[in-house]
Chains A and B, each alone.
Chain A
Amino acid sequence: MTVRMTAYWKKYILRHWQLYLIVAVPVAFLITFNYVPLVGIQLAFKEFNPIQGIWGSPWVGGKQFAMFFESPFFWPVIKNTLLLSVYSLLVGTPAAILLALALNEVKSQRFKKVVQMFTYAPYFISTVVLVGMLNIILSPTIGIYGQLTELLGIADPMDILGDPKAFSSLYVWSAVWQETGYGAIIYLAALSGVNPELYEAAKIDGASRVQKMVHIDLPTIRPTIIILLIMSIGGLLSVGFEKVFLLQNMLNLSTSEVISTYVYKIGLVHMNYSFAVAVGLFNSIIGFILIFSANLLARRFSESSLF
């Protein structure tokens, strides 16, 4: 059996050598930029010395991890990361689902198109531009927020961009503004697959619109919701660096420092490679565990799972 398998193997590879040549190029990329970096993980257990390099640097065991766990930044950074991602998950997912359900009810195709066109557009604005827009719109001196507070006679308007308490809401709700329209598309696509006979039957049985949504629409998009949820749970600890970093300032640092921005500062700004690798590895491992547990739970309690 194995002999025959190997023979088949050889014959296949010889006959389709071109396919292997084609796939070799992207595989080389995958190895270089995804797998070679894994070699660098050993730095988490070493004390990096630039002269001796990755391989030559001395082993120090769990020292870097111990330093991270004991550091005064440990809890704030973990707490901020979790708060931001859980908050995003709890607000962002329902927002996209609700928008899709609402749009699905709209009969006027023109109104539906206009709403979709506008809600979809902010997705293509770059993070830098989004943060730039927040900076000028929410500035108490220039911009619409300043104008509004002046009109209302508020003498000392709150500095939304500099307030640590406002940071998480600023982060989450600006993402809702930017991404809900895009997020709704996938649910709308799933809803378009509902068998119209189900709606007819529900109508005859006297179901209300709300009942129809709860008993037909939601079950239809449940697999999609679950798969997207699993994927976001995996990313729970890797809150997007890009936006947090741009929204960060000296004033809101106490709530805006997350794992990814912390790794960037420790590693690339202060060149403390080993410590930064350890923090990053901690992040990757927790993320990996989370996505597997979420997948396992989804497989056990529903018929859909990611893998």
Chain B
Amino acid sequence: MRSHTLIKESMGDRIMMAVIYTVLTVVLIAVAYPLIYIVSSSFSSSSAVMSGRVWLFPVEPTLYGYEAVFQYPQIWSGYLNSILYTGLGSVISVTLTVMMAYPISNTTFVGRRILVWALLFAMLFSGGLIPFYLVVRSLHMLDTIWAMVLPGALSVFSVIVAKTFFQTTIPGDLYEAAQLDGCSDGRFLVSVVVPLSKPVLAVLFLWSAVGQWNSYFNALIFLNGEEKYPLQLVLREILVLNSVSTASMSLSAEQLKQFEDMKNLLKYSVIVIASVPILMLYPFIQKYFVKGVMVGSIKA
């Protein structure tokens, strides 16, 4: 009787497992297919893409799409701007996060409660878009690099993650011993806490860098000059507004006609090129993001 029910149940379990594997395979294909399709199209010929002959692998493989990208100066200025904003922005952001998180991670710090509440309130309630814009404007940051790297530099969520990390990994005894030895607070932070916190610093840096690289909203509202546009804003013009301007390119009539043909191909290549920096970070991201998410999930 008992063995009978066991067999029956394992039968149900086996069906369940088959269902799970099937569903996951379908999910895998559904997620991966659009990515593969874009990459394959970017390496296909313009005519193959236009006549809809690309299904999975590149058709009539060429690098014309990428040549079109190289001929398009806005993409390169956008690339350089994005690298600048991402590099500078992440360094500022991580520095500020540590400077905020370290003092409030110390439970004896007088004023800790007030600061924690001030942070939580800032996370839950904001003045909204217009007052934020007016503050940045009154600081004369409009149309400068500072509007790209300063206003969003302090993220409450990152502060909470860093604070939790400091609290759980920096032993209180270490602090007391350093104090007895006459080590100042600033020195302790720089020569003990920061070297011991490399994993969380890596997480914060990656979060900030990915956010900066992918953002376009601040650039949209704060920048006017096209020469300051980050890559995402240039991409928006090409991919969403569908406007590819050949004005700044010195092309002959024949080259211009060729370029018009490649306009659609350019879109696929530009998607790939814009995502390459993130893909290069992917191994680190995968390793550290999971850790970071887990640290962050611990109740503040």
Contact residues of A with B, CB < 8 Å?
8-9, 12-13, 16, 18-23, 25-27, 29-30, 32-41, 43, 54, 99, 102-103, 105-106, 111, 114-115, 117-122, 124-129, 131-133, 135-137, 142-144, 146-147, 150, 177, 181, 185-186, 189-190, 206, 208-210, 224, 227, 234, 241-242, 246, 260, 263-264, 267-268, 273, 276-277, 280-281, 283-284, 287-288, 291, 307
Contact = CB atoms under 8 A, between A and B. Distances in A.
Given A209-B16, A273-B134, A284-B125, A9 B297 contact: no
B85 interface: no
Determine which residue in B126, B127, B133, B159 has the highest number of CB atoms from chain A within 10 A of its CB, and name it.
B127
Contacts of A260: 129
B247 interface: no
A8 B12 CA distance: 67
Given A132-B271, A268-B129, 10 more contacts: A37-B127, A41-B127, A102-B24, A115-B24, A129-B274, A133-B34, A136-B239, A143-B52, A150-B52, A273-B130
Nearest to A146: B52
Nearest to B290: A185
Interface string B132-154: 11110001000000000011111
Contacts, number: 261
Contacts of A117: 286
A126 B285 CA distance: 15
A35 B123 CA distance: 11
Nearest to A11: B110
B120 A144 contact: no
Contacts of B217: 241-242
A215 B120 CA distance: 34
B253 interface: no
A277 B103 CA distance: 35
Interface stretch (B67-75, B166-174, B184-192, B254-262): B184-192
A34 B124 contact: no
Contacts of B100: 23, 26-27, 30
Contact of A102 (B20, B111, B127, B131): B20
A19 B130 contact: no
Contact of B31 (A12, A29, A118, A264): A118
Determine which residue in A13, A209, A280 has the highest number of CB atoms from chain B within 10 A of its CB, and name it.
A209
Interface in B32-66: 32, 34-35, 37-38, 49-50, 52, 55
Contacts of B177: none
A88 to B, nearest CB: 18
A263 B88 CA distance: 30
A122 B290 contact: no
Contacts of A288: 124-125
Nearest to A114: B28
B282 A277 contact: no
A124 B24 contact: no
Contacts of B12: 208-210
Contacts of B76: none
Contacts of A209: 12-13, 16-17
A129 B239 contact: yes
A96 B15 CA distance: 22
Given A126-B214, A128-B232, A206 B239 contact: no
Contacts of A23: 99-100, 103-104, 115
B35 A121 contact: yes
Contacts of B235: 126, 128-129, 132
B290 A189 contact: yes
Given A106-B24, A115-B28, A128-B239, A22 B102 contact: yes
Contact of B240 (A36, A128, A273, A287): A128
A198 to B, nearest CB: 17
Interface in B88-108: 96-97, 99-100, 102-104, 106, 108
B29 to A, nearest CB: 9
Contacts of B130: 40, 43, 263, 267-268, 273, 276-277, 280
A305 to B, nearest CB: 9
Contact of A33 (B38, B118, B132, B238): B132
B5 interface: yes
B293 interface: yes
6 contacts: A18-B185, A25-B96, A26-B96, A106-B20, A126-B232, A143-B52
Contacts of B150: 29, 33
Contact of A121 (B52, B135, B282): B282
Contacts of A189: 290, 293-294, 297
Interface string B206-221: 0000100111110001
B196 interface: no
Interface string B279-299: 100100110011001100101
Across the A-B interface, the 8 shortest Cβ-Cβ residue pairs? A40-B131, A280-B128, A132-B239, A37-B127, A126-B214, A26-B100, A37-B131, A147-B52
Contacts of B210: 124
A40 B152 CA distance: 18
Nearest to A181: B31
A122 B35 contact: yes
Contacts of A122: 31, 35
